[in-house]
Each structure stands twice: as C-alpha cells, then as structure tokens.
Structure 1
C-alpha cells in the first residue's frame, strides 16, 4: 500500500510548501518512488508549489505538474461532490506509480464554502492520508510573532475541524516560530493537542521551525516586477538574491550610509546622484554591508557624465530604474511578499537545512510506516553519501574559488554540514562575490595561493619530491601558484583530506599534480579513475574511462582492484 501524508493549515501563508519540501526530501532518501499531488489549485496550468516539488522527484517517474493536479477552486465552487470524486480519481492515477505520496492541500486563496480546513480534512480522509498540520507562528495582519498561548489556541481550534471530517492527525509543525520562544511554543502546542485529543490517544508529535527571514524575503527580480522596473546596470545573476529590507534615501548621504544593512535595498530619487555614487563606492569597501540592489525612482534621467561614470565603473550591484514616485515605489516594495519559487535554490537549501535541524525525520518516517525500499535510487544513494560524510566529516579543498558554481556548491555543503571546506583564491574577492550571490560562506576557510608561508613550504616539499628531475625551489614556487598543484600539496601534507576540482579545469590539469606529488599507494601499479553512473534503480561504478585509454589485461585487473 502507498504511504501518504497530507499537508494542510488553518490559514494562508503558513509556509507549508517549505515543510512539504523537507518531508519530500526525507522520503526520497528512503523510498524508491515518491510522488506529489495537489488536490486543489487556483490554476490547473501552473502551480508554483507543484513545480518546485516535481523538480525534486526521481526523473524516472516522468510526472509533470499537470499530472499531479486534482481540481481547481472553480470546480469546487461549481460542484463540491463531483470535485471530490475527481480528486480521488486523479490521485489514484499518480499513487499507483509510487510507494509514497506527498499531498499538499489548498492555499487559502479562494475556497470559501465549505470552510477550507474542513474541506482539506474531507479530502485527506477520502484519500486515506494522515494529516500533517502546519501552523504559522506569525500573525497574518502585521506578521508579528505569535506567543506560545496563541499557538496552543490555534492548534486546539484546528483539531475539531479535522475530526469532524474523520481526518487523522499524524503530526504538527509550527512554522516561522519566534526563535527565542521556539521550544516553549512546541511544548505548548503539544500540550494543547494532548488535551483536545482525549485520554488514551497517543501523543501527537510536534516540531517547531524557527522564523528564517530569508525564506519569506522577495528576490530582487520580484521587486523589479512589482515596481515595473528595468535593470539599468549590474549582474543579472544577482536578481535572484533575496531582499531582507528597504532603506529610503530621503536624508543626507552620510545618514543613508549609516542605515544600510546586509542584503538590503536602498532606493534613491533619480536626481540624488551623489547618494547613488556614494552607495556604489561603499560596495567596494569591505567595511560596509553588501546590498542586494539600488532602486532609482522617478522620471529623472542620468546626465551624460553620470552615465559615462557608471559605464566605466561597471558595478556588479544591480541598479534598477522605475518611473514611479517615492511613495508609490516604497508601497509596492513593502507589499511584495516573498515565496518559495522554483528557481530560488538558496531558499530551497535553507528550507531543507532548517527542516533537517529541527524535525526528527526518522520518527516521521516511522509514523508513516514507509515500506523498505527494494532498490537504491540515485537520490537515495546521494543521501547515503551525504549522511556518511556528515558522520565522518573531512576537510576538502576546492581550488576553483573563482567559479560561482563552486561557491554555490560550497554554501550548500556548509549549510548541510557535510564537510569542512577550504576554498582557494583571494579572500576579499571570494567573500565579496559570495555576499553578492547571497551565499553562506562564513564557515569556509579561504586561502590564497600567494600565502608566503604556505607557498614556501609547498615549494620546498615539491622541489624535494622532484629533485630527481632537477626541479629547483624557485621553479617549484612558480608551480605551486597553480591552484591544482597548491590543492594537491595540501592533501599530500595532511592539510586537507581530499580535493574536488574540474569545474573550470580539464581532467588532465586536475590530476597531473597527483602523479607528481601524491603518487600511487604501495601495491598499486597504475593510476586510474572511476565515476558513478546513476541509473533508475541502481548506481554503478565505472573504471577506468579517463586516465588509461587502452589498458592491458594486467592493468585492467589493477584498475578493478583499486576501484
């Protein structure tokens, strides 16, 4: 039988999509075929939540978002009974292909009759899916934090609605809880659920996720849309950066600079170019916060000399132009709600990290009675690797610190606490680029290949290793400035446990230093490589397909043993 779980809430903007993403990842790590389903959506052609979840499924399922939709709000209004029957039929079509199902209820954006929580409970009961209730730790009007007593009351009020429709409450997650009251809120909700559930009923597990401003922050790109703006200059890649607040530059320049903060947006009237230039200058200084963007509002055009200056500076920081006035621009920005978008990968990583840190995944899987997998899918294999890496953390050096992909990957690994990372490159440049991209690199150690002490030590060691080739220390110094040689020497001397490279360098450039420095271990006659081939139901190891193009029988045997 297909294991299933139904996500619903008692109000909108609870953040249940982020919680569902965490549960989905938990299940895909343990079950071969996991599906997703949305019983009720506003638009059958496009649903942001479904697109995010489907992107995280095993691709061999070949499920499209449109396959995972039950009915629309209009269908429910027209004929609730017929809509429910269609939901059940559509769900069955997807569930038959899967071992587990993640079902995400409606969003409180349309259904008015019957009551939305009650209707979701009825759907869950008819699908035979236990309910995971998601409660928001924020008030809907002013987004202020709710107290433990308020959260307990919200939980107590929700249970009768679920029971009235014969839905079974499996667990509860308080999302966006006040971080300082998180444990008190969790305990209060658990106590409230025990009281309303009655004697003899097993306690309902309750978890609380702390408020994380990043997850509800709009991106620069979303603000551009809200203010009818255009990108005047700057790096388009930074439009995906989250905005954590706004400063209106309606004061003297020095006071504006005092009020900037990390990932903030400053908007300034188009004729206040002295403030604009001061803000751009501040972005070049490590002593000032890294802004997400500058918004220049109003009908004023830049003078030719200012345009010439901006073209010469070529700032990475996005400068957005809009014709709207200050009040209108500010209102539009403040009213822009962030969401967990399909391409917001930093939000996905953060949501998954928060879920893993605060929810007992093993207990949740046990509650769902998930069947033991008969195969190992690539997603399950990836989870097992990451889990083993966390259990035995190693120090890994990443030589290609100038590549945005490497920095992004480093941020993900650090957030998930998979490894301790050393990134090679100029620390100021890497930290600045990481801040521009909105990455979490604080826990990464950044080392320059020009570090005089390490460079001298590495050169002397390399000269000693290559003395039979006549290599001098001066020649070795030049060689060690190459990131591949520098990183390999770190591994050789025990300063790192391993090196990962090849995003910006060829295989030959990456592995040649290991031939000269690390060499083969005793008993191994040939250097070889392996790679992992992820198939639909298993993962295979292939060796060697890169280093030895035409191996002899003896070499093949050695390669097989090494692999």
Structure 2
C-alpha cells in the first residue's frame, strides 16, 4: 500500500522546498521508493523558472518528478469555475509519474497576496490525492506557545481531530534572523557577522509546547548558517562581475564578508577561511596582503574588487602564486557603497545547480525529522526495498556511530584528512587519531577554518615512536629486524599507525590521501597479516547507482587470482555485502554465460564458482555470467533463465584486476556516480586505502567503513 504525504505551509517563508528535500531524503534513508510532486508551479518574484523544488529534485536526485502545471493555467481554470478540471489534471499527472512509488511527497502552494486561493487549493488537492497532511510552520517572532496556537488553528480549519488525514506539523527555521513582521530576512551582512536571531522560540521550548498539543510535532529544524553559505560563483553571477582570476570560483564558499576600508594591520584579523574581502581595486596594499595570506595557506573565499579599475598587471604577476593556488578574484564597476547594497539583495536560497549544498540541506533537514514516524510510514508499504545510496550512506554513519571505534589517520597534517576527522567527531562517526606535530596540525586546521573538538586526538609521532621499537622487533625478528632499522621504519607514520593497530591501541587505520596503495598496504601485510582462514587480502568498491548499491570485487589488489583465490574473493565480498545491509547475490563475471563459452579464462571462473559453492553452500552465487546477464532481467531470461542470480545480482566478482578496475572506473565515470572504496577484506584488523584524489566526504565514509569492519571482526572473534 502506497502513501501520499502532502506538505501544506502555514503562512509564507516557511522553507517549503527545504522540508520537501528533507522528507524525500528521510524516506530514502529507510529504503522507500520515493516520488515527488509539485502540482502547480509557484515561481518566486524575479524567478524566470523552472519551478525551484521540481528542478532541484530532478537535478540532485534519481527521481524524475512530473512537470507542474503553470500557475497562469491554474488561475485561469479557477477563475472560470473549472476547479474540477484542474483537480483532474493534477490527479492524472500524479498517477502517470508517481503511481508506482511507495511514498509520494506532495508540495503544496504557499498562500501569498498574488495567490489568495492557495489554502483552498491545498485542501482540494489533498482530498483529490487522498493525501495525508503535514503542516509546515516557522516561529517567526512568535514564542513557542503562540506558535502552537497558530498551528492548532490551521489544524482546526482542516477538520481538527475529525480529520484522520492530519498527521502533524514540522517546524522549520527555529532561531532564524527575522524582521519585525516575522519574515526570515537575512542578508549577507546579518548572516556573516553572526547577528543574534530575533526568534523568541527555541527547539526545546517548541518540543515542550507541543507535548500536550493535539497536533503531533514531527520535526523541529534549527536554523544554521552553514546551510546558506553560497559559492563565489553564485555571488559573481548576481553581481554580474568580471572574473579576473577564476581559481576555485565554482567550489569555494563564502562564510563572512569584510569591507576593507581600514589600514592593513587593522584588517588582518578578518583574513579568514571563507571570507569575502571587498576592497577598491586601487588598494594594492589590501590585494597584496590578501594574496600573502592565501599563499600562507589561509583559504580566503574570494577577493571582490570595486570601482571598475583593472588591477595593475605587474601587481597581479607578483600575486600569481596566490592565483594559481585557487584564490578567486572578481571585479565590479560599482563603488563600494553600491556594491554593499547589491550584496544585501543577494538571494540566499539554494541554487538548483549546487548539488553539494542540496545534499547538505537534505541530510541536515532529514536528521531533524522524527525517525520513528518516518519508519512507521515506510513500514506501511509492502514492496521489497532495495538499499538506495541515501539509505546506504545513512546506514554507514549509523552503524559507525554504534561501533564507536578509534581510527588512526597517519596523514595527520593533510588538510582533507583534518577536515574529515573533524566531521567524524561532529557526527559521532568515529574517534579519530591524527598523527602529526600538534602545532602543525593546529596551524593547518586554523587555515582551513576547521575546529578540532574533543572527538579528535592528535599524537606527535616523535613523542611516542620509541615505545613501538621493541614490539616491532619482536614481531619481525624472524626477518632479522634490528632496533636501528625498526627505529628508521617507524619514522614513516603509516608504519607507526600500523603498530598502534597491531598493539590494539586503535581499532582501524585509514591512509592513502597522499600515499600510494602499496605504501598504505605493505606495513599492515607485514605487521597485521591476514585474518584466520583467509588466504589473501582483496578489495571491494561500493557502487552507488541511482536506485541501489552494488558491490564490485576485486578491483584494486589481486592482478590475476587463481580459481581458489577468486572463490575466496567472492566469499569475502558476499560477507562484506551482508555486513553493510546488502543481500548478496553473487555473479562471477566472465565473457560468456553458462556453458556457452570455453577457454582458460572462463574455465577459471567456472571452477571458482564451484569452489565457492562447496565452501559456502548457503551462498547465492552463479557463474560464469556476462555483465549484462547479471544485471538486466530481460537479458537474464534469454541467457540464464534458471539462474538464481542473473538479472538481480548485487555482488559482482571480476576474473582479474584488469577487468575489475577498468569496469568500475568506466561505470563510475560514464554514469557519473559515486563509488566508495576500495575497502580491503581479509585483514586481521581493518586497514583501508584512499584514492589520492579523495574528497573529504570520501575520507569520512572510508573511516565509517573501517569502524564498521572493526565491529564486524569483533563479532567474528
């Protein structure tokens, strides 16, 4: 049975798009097949289209929502007393695009002076779609008691307790800066100077006020400045600025604004990570100072030059190292005063083409919606669910939190690693140990605008190296290791981190942001060794397809495994899939399916399949299978009609490294999807390698994987 949840705003400016995004994400996390529908497009003043919520959902998720009806068309039907025609079209589009979904999130209309009929239309659409209703409200200038009264009035206006379709309310923008009328009206200066919010209601007060209300509180979303940090690109487009140096224009985010009107010594304290420095183009002292700060590692957001003066060519040549390092520099014709007014008019809503910010908004909002209620909604549907990418990522972080492991990061002075450690601590994913000089780590963290809280530990290698010499000599005495050589090897932080793992001082190790795979894996192979019963170390990648997660192995370690080794890789990969909530249906990949082909390569795959079946009779495994037969139901019916795996495989085992690595990269790049890994399998203790191009989020998820592996090994032992 499917369910339709309609979000109906109580007033304007409630952040309806944000709540829609959060609802979709919260349902996806529970493995539901989610649909989204905005019946009638409602463009904001100045918007030229497309409709924002539909465009964001279409661009940033795997959903394909219906195009909403144009506002002008809806108004013409209502004004000519053809409301029934409008509702019929709304229902027809719903059935066409959302009929097969478990749960559909429907975004209602916002009542405005231009759309006074919106409240009536919301009620009619909810009835036509047989939708359950969730109100969306924001406190504005009300205190918690006044907010509750306002919500209860809206609840009564739609039937109150007699209307069983009314589920409750989600309160958004708690603690947001508001004007005297209660409208959320932040501008750049208010946000980035950290002004106090004018809202009289707090999260705790709202929760307390609704405890005895007839309206259930289904979510309470605190306002946070982090969700509204725009890209330099967005601001440059708004100002119609000339780009003097592009740098990281599309990636850097602005978190403060400083107008550089004073002397340089009085401005230096404002040269901070994410800072937009606004200065007249004829202030070479400010330009040079900003570039010096950037060259010293401070990731300044951007340099905005006013007045229309082209900066001197020789000056720009002097500042070239900062430009090469990514500092965006933009120029506007307006003077500083007019530029400040233009900045205040900047729209801080999420752009439709900013996937990173959309992802952040979705995750943050979803995390503040009642998880028990979401689970109840999903439990009411009867479709067998696949593990979608959002559900998988959520499962990773939740399992990692439960594991509560201590993970060592040997590359402790690497900026991405420092950011990842801080994020893990903030989210409770793991307790990270950074190896590096504490002063150097603190300096780099400060330059990146990162705060290292209690969940991050910094260990100076020089202070602890000596205590690992004797244990390392003991472990490697059969290889003739001496104290002198051990001391030299321990100068390598990867070796030091591995010894900490070997001595049970940490639960896992993650490296590779600057080191090669061989550099990361060699010390653990020497000091940690393989787990009992494992003959080799292998790897898997988690491939995050739009609607499910697949496991690929081995794509990183074993160049040409034997049939026996291939069987072990299949078993290891199946066990890893199970540990992360993926039902393993293992396809042994080859260039032929079943008995259709011959040759040493396909014979190896066939033999490996038989060996794996003998070792693990309960395992759902089949091979050899061609990739298309393994993944496509229509091909499977023709090539392998009796296979328990063909057409529904979740774990793909490739015959050699050449095939596996090529396939994973081809799929990843051609389909533009995320892959997490490689995750190493078969080690006695968890060690994982990173790509040297890893993003901060990649490192975070790899740390989570490592923590979960450690817990899994605890259960085995």
Query: Same fold per TM (> 0.5)?
Result: yes
- Aligned position for 1:271: 282
- Aligned position for 1:251: 262
Aligned length: 536
1:485 and 1:513 in contact (8 A); partners too: yes
2:108 and 2:517 mapped to 1: Cα distance?
Answer: 48
1:121 and 1:161 in contact (8 A); partners too: no
The answer on 1:183 being equivalent to 2:204 is yes
- The DSSP-based 3-state class of the residue aligned with 1:499 is strand
Deviating more after overlay: 41-50 vs 389-398: 41-50
- The DSSP-based 3-state class of the residue aligned with 2:304 is strand
- How large is the RMSD of aligned CA atoms in angstroms? 3.9
Give 2:502's match in structure 1, choosing from 492, 495, 512.
492
Map residues 57-136 of structure 1 onto 2, 5 A cutoff: 57=61, 59=62, 63-64=63-64, 67-80=65-78, 81=83, 82-106=85-109, 112-136=114-138
2:60 and 2:387 mapped to 1: Cα distance?
Answer: 13
Give 1:307's match in structure 2, choosing from 311, 316, 326.
316
1:432 and 1:512 mapped to 2: Cα distance?
Answer: 30
1:56 and 1:74 mapped to 2: Cα distance?
Answer: 27
2:25 and 2:366 in contact (8 A); partners too: no
2:239 and 2:332 in contact (8 A); partners too: yes
| TM-score, length-scaled by structure 2 | 0.65
1:546 and 1:304 mapped to 2: Cα distance?
Answer: 48
Map residues 112-511 of structure 1 onto 2, 5 A cutoff: 112-138=114-140, 146-159=142-155, 162-163=158-159, 168-178=165-175, 181-188=202-209, 194=214, 203-233=215-245, 235-236=247-248, 239-243=251-255, 245-257=256-268, 263-281=274-292, 291-314=300-323, 316-341=326-351, 342-346=353-357, 348-349=359-360, 352-353=363-364, 355-356=366-367, 358-366=368-376, 370-379=380-389, 380-399=391-410, 413-423=424-434, 442=453, 445=456, 451-458=461-468, 461-482=471-492, 484-502=494-512, 507-511=517-521
Gaps in structure 2 of 5+ consecutive residues: 177-200, 576-717
- Aligned position for 1:9: 9
- The DSSP-based 3-state class of the residue aligned with 2:7 is strand
Gaps in structure 1 of 5+ consecutive residues: 139-144, 195-202
2:359 and 2:552 mapped to 1: Cα distance?
Answer: 31
- Aligned position for 2:31: 31
- Aligned position for 2:623: none
Tell me how far 1:97 sits from its aligned partner. 2.1
- The DSSP-based 3-state class of the residue aligned with 1:485 is helix
Q: Deviations over 1:104-143 (max 9, x none)?
A: 23456x88344323322322222122222221234xxxxx
Q: Deviations over 1:317-351 (max 9, x none)?
A: 43322121112210111121212334252563365
- Shift in alpha-carbon separation, 1:280–1:106, aligned structure 2, 3 A: farther
| TM-score, length-scaled by structure 1 | 0.80
- Aligned position for 1:198: none
- Aligned position for 2:596: none
- Shift in alpha-carbon separation, 1:497–1:48, aligned structure 2, 3 A: farther
- Aligned position for 1:142: none
1:368 and 1:224 mapped to 2: Cα distance?
Answer: 43
- Aligned position for 1:53: 57
1:403 and 1:93 mapped to 2: Cα distance?
Answer: 50
1:285 and 1:471 mapped to 2: Cα distance?
Answer: 41
- The DSSP-based 3-state class of the residue aligned with 1:519 is coil
1:125 and 1:168 in contact (8 A); partners too: no
- Shift in alpha-carbon separation, 1:78–1:475, aligned structure 2, 3 A: farther
Tell me how far 1:374 sits from its aligned partner. 1.6
- Shift in alpha-carbon separation, 1:211–1:537, aligned structure 2, 3 A: closer
